[in-house]
């Protein structure tokens, strides 16, 4: 009976001894265990002091480095050659979208890396890194990994309807597309472009200024230069110059034009010569005018042509007028010749 009472007393003392031990006392004995440690609550929160805290509340687990005296979080360091998460990671209370592996509420900064400061593995056919505003995508950087020559990297923005509008660079060729995911040249723009500058807006086609297209803000002209020579200009008033920088008409060419056809439109023509009321100059009048002026009537002189040039349509009209006048004179002379032949024939028959 005494043995039973002794054993019972000893067991009760052991229980009380173990119950009185805290975590510090347990780890003083040894700080290694092969058992799973599970924290099920957040009771007995200290009011002061600082340290590493591990707790579970509202269905979520927490690890934090906190100073309870100042009631502020302190630096928490996670060290390891590799840190894995089994699902999604949210930083700075980012709002979970249910799919993105890493979601950050705030900025991301990388430093100290000479190469590959940030790496993201695309496991599907297309993946992006997104910047959001109120959980709405606004800016993205992505890669289309369809394993073909059309694979491309992209950077762009997202409109209010969720459509991506970006710059696309093909992985195989390095071609860059704006508005197209399949660029055909080093730069392929599917849509209008605008070039502006405080001074003249210039596009260079070589490493020098020998081949350029530029907009002159002073006289609002568009200019083309090749081989270091200004070849072509369109003035702000619409006048076009080829070989001249100061065209005085809609098209001015300083040089030879080679073409297969020129069409000139006119409001009238020289058919008035054949009207009954047209006064045909006599050959005597024409002779007198030519002797005095050294050129045909209604035809500009050599000095006038040298000074003012000629209007192609108007000159053709005047030349046709002279041909028609000459034709009328030939018809009249032919009638006179025929009349003389008949008169001669009558004289010889007597």
Beta strands in the chain (DSSP E): 50-57, 60-67, 72-73, 89-91, 102-104, 126-133, 136-144, 152-158, 164-170, 176-178, 187-189, 201-204, 212-216, 221-226, 229-234, 240-242, 251-253
Which sequence spans correspond to the domains of the chain? 91-107+120-191, 201-253, 270-348
Of 8 and 295, the one with more pLDDT: 295
CA 197 to chain centre: 16
For the chain, percent of residues with pLDDT exceeding 70: 87
pLDDT of residue 164: 83
pLDDT tens digits for range 329-340 = 999 999 999 999
Of 129 and 303, the one with more pLDDT: 303
Q: What is the DSSP string of 131-177?
A: EEETTEEEEEEEEE--SSTT-EEEEEEE-TTS-EEEEEEETTT--EE
pLDDT of residue 232: 94
Query: Do residues 153 and 143 touch, judged by C-beta distance below 8 A?
Result: yes
Residue 303 has pLDDT above 70, yes or no: yes
The span from the CA of 167 to the CA of 153, in Å, is 8
pLDDT of residue 11: 47
Residue 120 has pLDDT above 70, yes or no: no
pLDDT tens digits for range 169-221 = 998 889 999 988 889 999 999 988 887 777 788 888 877 788 899 898 888 89
pLDDT of residue 278: 93
Averaged pLDDT of the chain? 84
The span from the CA of 311 to the CA of 174, in Å, is 54
pLDDT of residue 14: 47
Phi/psi region, residue 294 (left: phi>0; alpha: psi -120 to 50; beta: rest), is: left
* Entry pTM: 0.49
Query: Do residues 41 and 55 touch, judged by C-beta distance below 8 A?
Result: yes
């Amino acid at each position: 009976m005494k043995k039973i009472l002794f054993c019972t007393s000893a067991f009760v003392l052991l229980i009380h001894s173990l119950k009185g031990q805290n975590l510090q006392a347990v780890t003083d004995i040894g700080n290694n265990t092969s058992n799973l440690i599970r924290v099920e609550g957040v009771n007995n929160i200290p009011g002061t002091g600082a340290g590493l805290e591990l707790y579970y509340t509202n269905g979520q687990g927490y690890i934090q480095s906190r100073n309870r005296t100042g009631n502020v979080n302190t630096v928490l360091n996670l060290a390891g050659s590799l840190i894995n998460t089994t699902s999604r990671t949210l930083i700075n209370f980012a709002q979970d979208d249910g799919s993105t592996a890493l979601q950050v509420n705030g900025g991301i900064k990388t430093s100290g890396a000479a190469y590959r400061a940030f790496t993201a593995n695309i496991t599907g056919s297309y993946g992006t890194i997104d910047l959001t505003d109120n959980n709405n995508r606004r800016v993205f950087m992505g890669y289309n990994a369809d394993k073909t020559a059309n694979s491309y990297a992209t950077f762009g923005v997202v409109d209010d309807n969720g459509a991506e509008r970006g710059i696309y660079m093909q992985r195989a060729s390095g071609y860059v597309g704006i508005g197209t995911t399949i660029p055909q040249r080093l730069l392929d723009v599917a849509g209008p472009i605008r070039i502006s500058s405080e001074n003249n807006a210039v596009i260079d086609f070589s490493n020098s200024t020998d081949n350029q297209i530029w907009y002159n803000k002073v006289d609002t002209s568009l200019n083309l230069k090749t081989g270091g020579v200004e070849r072509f200009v369109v003035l702000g008033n619409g006048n076009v110059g080829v070989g001249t920088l100061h065209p005085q008409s809609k098209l001015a060419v300083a040089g030879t034009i080679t073409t297969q056809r020129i069409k000139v439109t006119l409001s009238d023509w020289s058919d008035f010569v054949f009207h009954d009321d047209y006064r045909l100059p006599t050959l005597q009048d024409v002779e007198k005018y030519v002797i005095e002026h050294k050129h045909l009537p209604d035809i500009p002189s050599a000095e006038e042509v040298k000074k003012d040039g000629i209007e192609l349509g108007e000159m053709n009209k005047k030349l046709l007028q002279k041909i028609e006048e000459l034709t009328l004179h030939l018809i009249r002379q032919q009638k006179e010749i025929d009349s003389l032949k008949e008169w001669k024939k009558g004289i010889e028959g007597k």
